[in-house]
Amino acid sequence: MKALVYHGPGRKKLEQRPMPCIGSPADAIVKITKTTICGTDLHILKGDVATCAPGRILGHEGVGIVTEVGQSVTNFQAGDHVLISCISSCGKCENCRRGMYSHCTTGGWILGNRIDGTQAEYVRIPHADTSLYKIPAGADEEALVMLSDILPTGFECGVLNGNVQPGSTVAIVGAGPIGLAALLTAQFYAPSEVIMIDLDDNRLAVAKSFGATATVNSTDGRTSLKVMELTGGRGADTVIEAVGIPATFELCEEIVAPGGVIANIGVHGTTASLHLERLWDRNITITTRLVDTVSTPMLLKTTQSGKIDPKRLITHRFKLDAILEAYETFAHAADTRALKVVIEA
Amino acid sequence: MKALVYHGPGRKKLEQRPMPCIGSPADAIVKITKTTICGTDLHILKGDVATCAPGRILGHEGVGIVTEVGQSVTNFQAGDHVLISCISSCGKCENCRRGMYSHCTTGGWILGNRIDGTQAEYVRIPHADTSLYKIPAGADEEALVMLSDILPTGFECGVLNGNVQPGSTVAIVGAGPIGLAALLTAQFYAPSEVIMIDLDDNRLAVAKSFGATATVNSTDGRTSLKVMELTGGRGADTVIEAVGIPATFELCEEIVAPGGVIANIGVHGTTASLHLERLWDRNITITTRLVDTVSTPMLLKTTQSGKIDPKRLITHRFKLDAILEAYETFAHAADTRALKVVIEA
Amino acid sequence: MKALVYHGPGRKKLEQRPMPCIGSPADAIVKITKTTICGTDLHILKGDVATCAPGRILGHEGVGIVTEVGQSVTNFQAGDHVLISCISSCGKCENCRRGMYSHCTTGGWILGNRIDGTQAEYVRIPHADTSLYKIPAGADEEALVMLSDILPTGFECGVLNGNVQPGSTVAIVGAGPIGLAALLTAQFYAPSEVIMIDLDDNRLAVAKSFGATATVNSTDGRTSLKVMELTGGRGADTVIEAVGIPATFELCEEIVAPGGVIANIGVHGTTASLHLERLWDRNITITTRLVDTVSTPMLLKTTQSGKIDPKRLITHRFKLDAILEAYETFAHAADTRALKVVIEA
Amino acid sequence: MKALVYHGPGRKKLEQRPMPCIGSPADAIVKITKTTICGTDLHILKGDVATCAPGRILGHEGVGIVTEVGQSVTNFQAGDHVLISCISSCGKCENCRRGMYSHCTTGGWILGNRIDGTQAEYVRIPHADTSLYKIPAGADEEALVMLSDILPTGFECGVLNGNVQPGSTVAIVGAGPIGLAALLTAQFYAPSEVIMIDLDDNRLAVAKSFGATATVNSTDGRTSLKVMELTGGRGADTVIEAVGIPATFELCEEIVAPGGVIANIGVHGTTASLHLERLWDRNITITTRLVDTVSTPMLLKTTQSGKIDPKRLITHRFKLDAILEAYETFAHAADTRALKVVIEA
């Protein structure tokens, strides 16, 4: 089969690979129909993800058709139309039992990282019963590709951890795909204000069209002042970090209101400064989280009922044969205005 | 001044009464600009509310202008445009300190019940600092009259207690003003389905236009079956009782899903049957609540930001001189199609 | 093997039965070392539990040694010393994923009810990976038998649902084994007062020795008044129903404080009266629950660390050969002063 | 009257000052019977607290007798025996209404900081109705002095924010008075393990006697390793920072388990390093908080019922005339083994 393979920092290749096969009774094989590229795939290609060894098929998002299941799989059978979760969850370990699937002792984020992933014609899914979701008849496959990772990530790490509430004020730092996913899902809770912060005016315009009530271009270094003006000097109740560098995290520290939350989504490679001398008595909360995908059933329901339209995140479409071009498009988003690119396998 | 006075069961009269005056340092006098009629006012007129003595000026909802404040009032001054909460809260007693203002030891629901109310030209508001809310410049007075009672009641007793969540299924029994207020505020949380149940097709049509995803006319006694069909046999995650009789409460018991909540809003005069022989192992929760109006600040924000449009509940408008006609219109809602009637003082 | 078999209302027999064997890849066979009798077993013998057919081996509590596991079992192997949960949980269905194991679509309370149970030399445990718990080296087996059902039931249905808090006032109606289990586990949260209510002075004396701060013998019908006196007229913040008849449930309605919770544990066979005419504005919560056993890992930790001593519930010990005598002892608790009886297999 | 007055960094003096008098209708004057010294008083004396101007009477803890009340005070009258909260709360502002009294817009921590404090014969208490608590008849005054600040601080900032749960593992960094207050109040929730970390073996011995299950002397720089050994490699579910320097905060980052909480109590003067490159995917929460004293009513109940014994924190007793000696004793705790020193006024 065709698969996009990581060959060390800066090197990837679309090549022929053997078909995956059932390795454990809990496995399923899924024929990929649609997949996509995540910012994390770019991190891997920079060599930033030590757990991803050369030779690995990339990708941890996708939808497809089950072609085969192991003996202990009871929820799925060949022919089922399924959504693949970016997080593999055994459902049995202590972490899974408490809903922290991201830290499943034999799963977590392994697809396209520790084991072969979804940017291929077929993929082996471990712990299939608790890592796949049935796609309802009539659902839009493209919309559901957004439910593998980006929507639950924006929702769980940003919106849920950030405790977005009706009437509250939210600031989201970073209007890339993940920040926009947080923006879309924040609206489940009817916040009064959502302020979107980014360097890119195009992305801020997109944010406005997605429901942001105000936008701040942070180029001039006056972001903190502007957010204070927009919030009557209070700051935001929820601040969502969706970039992953110290400067943006420290901006969050400046604009969070007393009693508020900083919910980190960004993948950080460097230590940030925590200004406890200013924050120790401000009654704030800071959270970090690798997505658990516990919200996937809810996201399926809200997508099906039209409460959210995940397809708005999709800007480009490619065939699997053109996946290298898809990576180029996604990697140069400032020029291409790409958000999510869907790849048809 | 003119005031609508209760004179015992079945008797009310618009008459001249002396102006109220400051009786305690925490009082304020408010000149009413708009008020409305509540279902509870009809209960009083039936003689069902023992705490309301003949001679009482009715009404516990309204907006107006502060004309005078007692010596200890610090949040308000003469000239302030204010929303009156139906619940008076001292802010000092144990119940107020835990957010249960409805059970304030020197307040709670006293306006138009234990003390004179708002269906008059002026009203005395005890505990003014913690029972009035400033109206933002440019706000629509009529919309805010809905925030005195009906919106916080639908929201707190129905939606908050009912734990409405993104993607969840909600059933609301009763599509009168209070059920519709629950319907409007339930949408703060993006439930996937809201099923509205009533005997009156007109009200069900209104419910549809307010966002209900399905409606059931309960005339034929097959409501429970229909709700089960609509929910794939599960029942509803949240069931909101907005009528106040045993039959509707017991319907709620039939249609709540395992793990779900029955949130009672209805004012009940009779004992209902609790089918514990069927419910003991169903992991359900039942809640009752007199509105605390803790959500008033949030409702002000969401109204101001346009997340909710409370004016949709208003069907009729009257002058204070025509308040008896307003009562007639409100009391015969099946004919007049009245929801909330606004009275200009 | 020897097993206690239900033969219809009023009839049970200790008899020879074939050894159980692995029927599904997720099964385990456990050699029982210790089991016990539950009040629910007596219900079955009265014919009250329609799902339990004649011919069924009774019992849903116990500890033992794994002798064989199915192919998909990964957490356990032959020789493991295990605690058996009264609730079988697949870990895969929607209810299990949200922590409501009691409503597992292929599990729940099935042991000694829909399938053969633990009052035998061996038992087949379905969904073994998510229905058994490893017993730490050096643990006391007898103490752990209390963790199969009675402790998680008292804790989850009574204490957790009842929202017991530091400083709060708790009333427990019923000082049988389950009420006493609630009493023991309520103390995890340092309530200031725990009032125990029962008809039996012996059980009330036991309750005192277990930490109750006050006891009320309810024989004279003045219980409600006495609880009001003990609580300064407020009632109890948490009221736990641990009997299962309308009279005791309705007592709970009388003694719950405004803002409080009635947490039902009792297995009810009859409809109770819900006095909504008195409760609709009291801001109370009523909960029902079949135990989910989500708290088993916590109970293992607190038992191991000595925070709780479950053995205090054990009053009598028998060999499996004497199980009929054990039933007699347990069924006549008023005379025998039995709480839990341990049976060594 | 006699009062201890701050005269700039390093300078304090016991001197004669005029009696305080009612300045607002919400004030009360309290004759101090007992007060104490807080670590924050030492911070002020170092010149670290810019809001505290020279000339200020120090102290924010104490119990006493009301001698006079302003016109709007309704909860108290002359002669009442009262506990003084370190946090003044108006009960009316948005922050007070949401329970964040520490950020009361006209209160918060002002006593002995922005206004004269309690290390004197008399003190003026603003917002008396919502900043004083009646002392129950028969209560021990000394124990209650611990409820002005140290117990609610340890409980709210450490235990509540840290989400201590039955069966969980807690690590407390710093075994000074505030760390020990967290240790005492953590036991309201029956954690299985409480690991206490400090440089001082005497304080660790005290911690053991107060209920710590393990202690680690952090002198050798191997603390992180030792905590990992004690927790089976997981780290602690709750880590409480009770020192206030970067090194101890960063230790907390090392020993928190995935899914765990770091609850900061320490007063920090310097920026700490937040190792997001290691923490971004660990699902952790970090909280900061200035005590709100919302838990004071609960602490009164648990102290009265004997669930907690705050007097254990008291090591020394002085008369007001000897307050300079009391400061010396408190400031040299390593030598004097002082925890809390009580001063009789």
Confidence class of residue C89 from pLDDT cuts 50, 70 and 90?
very high
Task: Give C161 to chain A, closest Cα distance, Å.
Answer: 18
Confidence band, pLDDT 50/70/90 cuts, at residue C78: very high
Q: Taking CA atoms, what residue in D is nearest to A162? A: D285
Chain C's closest residue to A72, CA to CA, is C72
Beta strands B62-69 and B81-84, pairing class: antiparallel
Q: Name the minimum distance, in Å, from the CA of D84 to any CA of chain C.
A: 20
* Cβ-contact A248, A241 below 8 angstroms: yes
Cβ-nearest to A91 among C91, C294, C297:
C91
> Which among C190, C298, C299 is the nearest to D307, CB-wise?
C190
A298 close to C (CB below 8 A): no
Task: Choose from C104, C271, C291, C294 for mutation: most chain B CBs within 10 A.
Answer: C271
In tens, the pLDDT along C20-47 reads: 999 999 999 999 999 999 999 999 999 9
Question: CB of D199 within 8 Å of any CB in chain C?
Answer: no
Q: pLDDT for A274-288, tens place per residue?
A: 999 999 999 999 999
Q: Which residues of chain A lie closer than 8 angstroms to B298, CB-CB?
A: 165-167
Chains that touch D (3 or more CB pairs under 8 A): A, B, C
Residue % of chain D over a pLDDT of 70: 100
State whether residue D271 sits within 8 Å of chain A by CB: yes
pTM score over 0.90: yes
Contacts of C25 in chain A (CB under 8 A): 25, 71-72
- Tell me how far apart the alpha carbons of residues A2 and A344 are, in angstroms, rounded to a whole number: 12
- Rounded percentage of chain A residues whose pLDDT exceeds 70: 100
Residue A34 and residue D319: Cα distance in Å, rounded? 79
> What average pLDDT score do residues A250-259 get?
98
The verdict on a CB contact (< 8 Å) between A282 and D269 is: no
List B residues 130-159 in contact with D (Cβ-Cβ < 8 A): 130
Kindly list the residues from chain B whose CB atom is less than 8 angstroms away from the CB atom of residue D75.
92
Band the pLDDT of D165: cuts 50, 70, 90. very high
Optimal mutation site among D163, D165, D185, D188, interface C, most CBs of chain C within 10 A? D188
Contacts of C95 in chain B (CB under 8 A): 258-259
The pLDDT > 90 percentage for chain D reads: 98
Closest CA to B94 of C168, A259, D71: C168
CB-CB neighbors (< 8 A) of D99 in chain B: 99
Spatial separation of the C-alpha atoms in residues D83 and D66, rounded to whole Å: 10
Cα dihedral D252, D254, D259, D265, rounded to 10, equals: 10
Task: For tokens 């497809």, name the residue.
Answer: A64
Q: 10 Å Cβ neighbour count for A247? A: 12
Place of tokens 């209104």: B206
- B269 to chain D, any CB pair closer than 8 A? The answer is no
Residues of C in contact with D299 (CB under 8 A): 167
- Residues A149/A31, Cβ–Cβ less than 8 Å: no
CA angle A251, A256, A261 (to 5 degrees): 115
- Asked if D308 and C192 come within 8 Å (Cβ–Cβ), the reply is no
- pLDDT tens digits, one per residue of A118-162: 999 999 999 999 999 999 998 999 999 999 999 999 999 999 999
What pLDDT is attached to residue B2? Answer: 98
Which run of H or of E encompasses B274? Answer: strand B272-274
D163 and chain C in contact, CB less than 8 A: no
Residue D314: strand pairing partners = D340
- Walk along chain B (345 residues) and give the pLDDT tens digit of each residue: 999 999 999 999 999 999 999 999 999 999 999 999 999 999 999 998 999 999 999 999 999 999 999 999 999 999 999 999 999 999 999 999 999 999 999 999 999 999 999 999 999 999 999 999 999 998 999 999 999 999 999 999 999 999 999 999 999 999 999 999 999 999 999 999 999 999 999 999 999 999 999 999 999 989 999 999 999 999 999 999 999 999 999 999 999 999 999 999 999 999 999 999 999 999 999 999 999 999 999 999 999 999 999 999 999 999 999 999 999 999 999 999 999 999 999
Dist. CA B326–CA B341, nearest whole Å: 7
Chain C residues within 8 A of D298 when measuring between CB atoms: 165-167
What does each C-alpha distance from D37 to A111, D134, D147, D326, D331 come to in angstroms?
Answer: 57, 22, 13, 8, 10
The pLDDT, as a whole number, for residue A190 is: 98
Give the side-chain half-sphere CA count within 13 A for A64. 31
Neighbours of chain A (3+ CB pairs under 8 A): B, C, D
Q: Which residues 226-245 on chain C approach chain B with CB closer than 8 angstroms?
A: 244
Q: How far is CA B331 from the centre of its chain?
A: 16
Helix ranges (DSSP H) in chain D:
39-46, 94-97, 141-145, 150-152, 177-186, 201-209, 223-230, 246-255, 276-279, 296-304, 323-331, 333-336
Beta bridge partners of A122: A31
Percent of chain B with pLDDT over 70: 100
Helix axes A201-210, A177-186, angle to 10 degrees: 20
D97 three-class SS: helix
Tell me which of D27, D69, D97, D131 to substitute to probe the interface with B (most B C-beta atoms closer than 10 Å): D97
- Contact assignment for C130 to A94 by CB distance below 8 Å: no
> Any CB–CB contact under 8 A between A105 and chain D?
no
As a whole number, the mean pLDDT across chain D is: 97
Which residues from A are below 8 Å from B189, CB to CB? 166, 188-190
B337: β partners: none
pLDDT in tens, D78-94: 999 999 999 999 999 99
CA distance A99 to B53: 55
Is this complex's ipTM strictly greater than 0.90? yes
Find which of A268, A281, A293 to mutate to test the D interface (most D CBs within 10 Å of its CB). A281
Residues D214-236 have pLDDT tens digits of: 999 999 989 999 999 999 999 99
SS3 letters across chain A: CEEEEECCCCCEEEEECCCCCCCCCCCEEEEEEEEECCHHHHHHHCCCCCCCCCCCECCCCEEEEEEEECCCCCCCCCCCEEEECCCECCCCCHHHHCCCHHHCCCCECCECCCECCCCECEEEECCHHHCEEECCCCCCHHHHHCCCCHHHHHHHHHHHCCCCCCCCEEEEECCCHHHHHHHHHHHHHCCCEEEEEECCHHHHHHHHHHCCCEEEEHHHCCHHHHHHHHCCCCCEEEEEECCCCHHHHHHHHHHEEEEEEEEECCCCCCCEEECHHHHCCCCCEEECCCCCCCCHHHHHHHHHCCCCCHHHHEEEEEEHHHHHHHHHHHHCHHHHCCCEEEEEC
Q: Is the CB of D188 inside 8 Å of chain C's CB atoms?
A: yes
Both structure tokens of D241: 């920072």
Q: Residue D241, SS3?
A: strand
Query: pLDDT above 90 covers what percent of chain C?
Result: 98
End-to-end CA distance of chain D, in Å?
Answer: 11
